[in-house]
Structure 1
Amino acid sequence: MSRKSKRSLKEKFALKNSLAKEALSEFLGTFILIALGCGCVGQAVLSRGAHGGPMTVSLGFAMAVTIAVYVSGGVSGGHINPAVSLAMCVTGRLKWTKLPIYTLAQFLGAFVGAAAVFGIYYDAFMEYSNGKLEVTGPNATAHIFATYPAPYLSLINGFADQVMSTAVLLLAIFAIFDTRNNSVPKGLEPIVVGLLIVVLTCSLGMNSGCAMNPARDLGPRLFTAIAGWGMEVFTAGNNWWWVPVVAPMLGGVLGAMIYIVLIEIHHSDTQPVEENDVHDCQCSQRQICRELGAPSFSPGDVELALSYCKQYSLYLKSQRYFLFALPVCSAMHTEEGIWRGFCRYWEII
């Protein structure tokens, strides 16, 4: 496809609203999570263990998370989980006005992902239980899509299980993306999050499947209620359905706050700015300004930006262009559109 054709398609179909872009990103990311993750469970269950087991399910869901975050992370942050989005809002990393949109997109993505798994394995479902879709019993298949408690598990114990597992999930996610801690090399964060999922499912998955994600559980559960399993999906397990919806939301906020209180707020307020990094910033900003047709910063502007960054500890090696972009964008007397474009070029705003 020629560059002109690509430009024409972009002009016709590209969304202008940033929130709409983020919603589509969360929808697609959560769809991938459920289609691949529940697909792994379906393959293991419907083959009666011949093509999978607990370990393949754990690894499959982990890699599904990794791929989903890679797909959606650059646009919306790759939350793919309302518990993550809520924790981001509570800690000031996401605007509250975005939470309902993110959550809706995540639930819809999970619902459609479950529908895709059912469609792909429809014949296998029919053969497995002679055409009857069961929630409990030896031929149960509802647990392919949503979590259900072990027979011994009480609601209180199950609630605590989900709070703890999701708290650990968010605590670790905040650590993984904390560039002032022992940060993961940029671009490898989704892989480490996937490894985190493996550990959590292997260590805390026995009680109820380690949902840790209200969208991952409720979206597919709603699909099964509509697709033929009936309302038993909500009454099974002593009305278990609400536990993996409410508990992860509380656990996610708890885990995020634990990390902030015990680790993040104790980071040093100042971080050194190396001379080579300053030189790289100055060289890069000149090159970008030429590409965008924007006037270059004067030496005084760069010094002003550096002073702002030193004062507010904004300097991060992995985000060195943050060093000058925000203060200069707010201070320079140039056309707003030029500097908005400049900042967006580096994904600052």
Structure 2
Amino acid sequence: MTMMQKSLAEFFGTFWLVFGGCGSAVIAAAFPEVGIGLLGVSLAFGLTVVTMAYAIGHISGCHLNPAVTVGLWIGGRFPANEIPMYVTAQVLGAVLASASLYLIASGNADYSLAANGLASNGVGEHSPGGFSMGSGIAIEILLTFFFLMIILGATDSRAPAGFAPLAIGLGLTLIHLISIPVTNTSVNPARSTGPALIEGGIALSQLWIFWVAPIGGAILAGIVYKVVGGSEQK
């Protein structure tokens, strides 16, 4: 695959993740009669990864996440020279998805960007459950670490073939079930950047947290998996 093909795959894949995941929170979960709640939003994020893993995994590897790209590089699975293009495509996909979501949501007279937002991530006063910055940073590092451990393990050449998308998607679902009340769940700097750029304000001022913490957790996982998993890696 050419770099352009890989980048386009990452762009559309990340668009789908942000539009599907954040869209479930902004549009579906916003109406009590729909009733998808925390479980529905968590499942929506997981389903975006499962569906895209089967759709574009053979093209780009279906990273959809700068932290995943960096973690795979640290783990010896991805070339450093392709990181800038992947991350750029992921962020652009997330921003366009957020803008599209805002365009659609604003078609409802009761929707307000200031009041309803776009499912941005946050801590302190911007945390859904009022959790502190320390709690938010800790859970983002920890959950991104385990997300990358799942990815590195499920895609290892010794793992059962064909089941990686399910393991990764279910892993992301579980991660959301745990951490939506804390940070609204990032573990993905691109996913955080899209809504924050459209919302502005506190979401944008706290965006650095959702780059530093997930990438830190991913780097740690890349190092640890080399020790735990050994050298027979795909």
- TM-score normalised by structure 1 residue count: 0.61
Alignment of structure 1 residues 56-95 onto 2, 5 Å: 56-95=40-79
Partner SS state of residue 181, structure 2: coil
- What is residue 148 of structure 2 aligned with on the other side? 170
Give CA-to-partner distance per residue, 1:56-106, whole Å, 9 cap, x none: 001111101111222221111100000011112223322211111100000
Q: Distance between the aligned counterparts of 2:199 and 2:106, measured in 1?
A: 13
1:258 is displaced (CA, Å) by 1.4
- What is residue 88 of structure 2 aligned with on the other side? 104
1:48 is displaced (CA, Å) by 4.0
1:259 is displaced (CA, Å) by 1.7
- What is residue 31 of structure 2 aligned with on the other side? 47
Contact residue 81 and residue 213 of structure 1 kept, 8 A: yes
Percent identical residues: 29
- What is residue 226 of structure 2 aligned with on the other side? 260
> In the alignment, which of 133, 144, 154 is matched to residue 113 of structure 2?
133
Q: Distance between the aligned counterparts of 1:165 and 1:23, measured in 2?
A: 26
Alignment of structure 1 residues 169-248 onto 2, 5 Å: 169-180=147-158, 183-186=159-162, 188-225=163-200, 231-235=201-205, 240-248=206-214
Identify if the C-alpha distance between structure 1 residues 206 and 214 changes in structure 2 by more than 3 Å, giving closer, same or farther: same
Give CA-to-partner distance per residue, 1:211-256, whole Å, 9 cap, x none: 100001012211233xxxxx34324xxxx32111111001011112
Contact residue 25 and residue 72 of structure 1 kept, 8 A: yes
CA RMSD of aligned residues (A): 2.1
Greater relative contact order: 1 or 2 (C-alpha under 8 angstroms, separation 6 or more)? 2
Give CA-to-partner distance per residue, 1:173-219, whole Å, 9 cap, x none: 11111122xx2332x32122111112212233331122100001012
- What is residue 215 of structure 2 aligned with on the other side? 249
Partner SS state of residue 110, structure 2: helix
Q: Distance between the aligned counterparts of 1:63 and 1:55, measured in 2?
A: 12
Identify if the C-alpha distance between structure 1 residues 127 and 234 changes in structure 2 by more than 3 Å, giving closer, same or farther: same
Q: Distance between the aligned counterparts of 1:25 and 1:66, measured in 2?
A: 14
Whichever residue aligns with residue 241 of structure 1, its letter is L
Q: Is structure 2 residue 137 aligned with structure 1 residue 159? A: yes
Contact residue 119 and residue 184 of structure 2 kept, 8 A: no
Partner SS state of residue 38, structure 1: helix
Question: Runs of 5+ in structure 2 lacking a partner?
Answer: none
Contact residue 68 and residue 78 of structure 1 kept, 8 A: yes
Which structure has the greater CA radius of gyration? 1
- TM-score normalised by structure 2 residue count: 0.90
Question: Runs of 5+ in structure 1 lacking a partner?
Answer: 1-16, 135-139, 226-230, 268-313, 317-349
Contact residue 69 and residue 80 of structure 1 kept, 8 A: no
Identify if the C-alpha distance between structure 1 residues 49 and 82 changes in structure 2 by more than 3 Å, giving closer, same or farther: farther
1:170 is displaced (CA, Å) by 0.1
Q: Is structure 2 residue 9 aligned with structure 1 residue 25? A: yes
Identify if the C-alpha distance between structure 1 residues 260 and 241 changes in structure 2 by more than 3 Å, giving closer, same or farther: same
Contact residue 166 and residue 248 of structure 1 kept, 8 A: yes
Contact residue 171 and residue 255 of structure 1 kept, 8 A: yes
Q: Distance between the aligned counterparts of 1:36 and 1:45, measured in 2?
A: 12
Q: Distance between the aligned counterparts of 1:165 and 1:171, measured in 2?
A: 10
Contact residue 87 and residue 253 of structure 1 kept, 8 A: yes
Identify if the C-alpha distance between structure 1 residues 112 and 223 changes in structure 2 by more than 3 Å, giving closer, same or farther: same
Partner SS state of residue 127, structure 1: coil
Alignment of structure 1 residues 139-154 onto 2, 5 Å: 140-142=115-117, 144-149=118-123, 150=127, 152-154=130-132
- What is residue 34 of structure 1 aligned with on the other side? 18
Q: Distance between the aligned counterparts of 2:14 and 2:216, measured in 1?
A: 20
Q: Distance between the aligned counterparts of 1:258 and 1:153, measured in 2?
A: 28
Whichever residue aligns with residue 211 of structure 1, its letter is S
